[in-house]
């Protein structure tokens, strides 16, 4: 198991040409602006302020890199959905995101975070499809699981797993899903195991 608590901020990039050298292994986190992405990264690394959380969703317009060691990194991708920015800026974000997902050789897996109460919105599906088309393993993390009782949360998970299985069947990809709560640390060990597997 990798020690995620040693994660340190490395650099930010607005486009793929500004990213760190494309060597070693990295795992990227993607999600709508209110999906709890920063909270998930902070819980994973046991660092309250590693990834910035904002009261105004959509502030993160850069690709942020965090180093685990000289060869391994976590990557926080720009959030989408509620950002109050011009349409042309959003299109640029999408262009750089897609370029990163398709061309980044060191990228070993994509974590797609989605609110368990509103899973698989259009952006979530787009991210999963981009990854599958790029032959990249995908792990869907249903955040804020503490907001639902166990039965409804498990039902939401089963629904997402079923939808992802259809994609997996089409492409033969590694597509998995889990419940997660940053508040109660539900699913933390499961997430660490999945990421450790990808980063080995």
This prediction's pTM: 0.92
For 159, phi then psi, to 5°, come to -65, -45
Range of the domain at 79: 4-199
Alpha-carbon distance of 31 to 186, in angstroms, equals: 19
Burial class (CB in 10 A: 0-12, 13-18, 19+), 51: buried
Q: Residue 186: which CATH number? A: 3.40.50.300
What does the angle CA 12 – CA 126 – CA 50 come to, to the nearest 5 degrees?
A: 30
Per the structure, how many domains does the chain have?
1
pLDDT per residue, tens digit, the chain (200 aa), is 899 999 999 999 988 899 999 999 999 999 988 899 999 999 999 998 898 755 555 555 788 999 999 999 999 998 776 556 677 877 877 788 888 888 999 999 999 999 999 999 988 998 888 888 888 999 999 999 999 999 999 999 999 999 998 877 666 678 999 999 999 999 999 999 999 999 99
């Amino acid at each position: 198991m990798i020690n995620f608590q040693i994660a340190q901020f490395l650099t930010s990039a607005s486009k793929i040409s500004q990213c760190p050298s494309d060597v070693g292994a990295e795992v990227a986190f993607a999600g709508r602006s209110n999906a709890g992405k920063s909270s998930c990264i902070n819980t994973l690394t046991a660092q309250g302020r590693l990834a910035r959380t904002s009261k105004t969703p959509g502030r993160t317009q850069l690709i942020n890199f965090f180093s685990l060691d000289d060869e391994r990194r976590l990557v926080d991708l720009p959030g989408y959905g509620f950002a109050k920015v011009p349409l042309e800026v959003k299109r640029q974000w999408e262009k750089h995101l897609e370029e990163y997902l398709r061309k980044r050789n060191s990228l070993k897996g994509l974590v797609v975070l989605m609110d368990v109460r509103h899973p698989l919105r259009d952006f979530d599906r787009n991210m999963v499809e981009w990854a599958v088309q790029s032959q990249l393993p995908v792990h869907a993390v249903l955040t804020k699981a503490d907001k639902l009782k166990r039965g409804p949360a498990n039902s939401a998970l089963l629904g997402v797993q079923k939808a992802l299985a259809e994609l997996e069947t089409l492409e033969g990809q590694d597509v998995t899903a889990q419940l997660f709560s940053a508040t109660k640390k539900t699913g933390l060990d499961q997430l660490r195991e999945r990421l450790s597997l990808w980063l080995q």
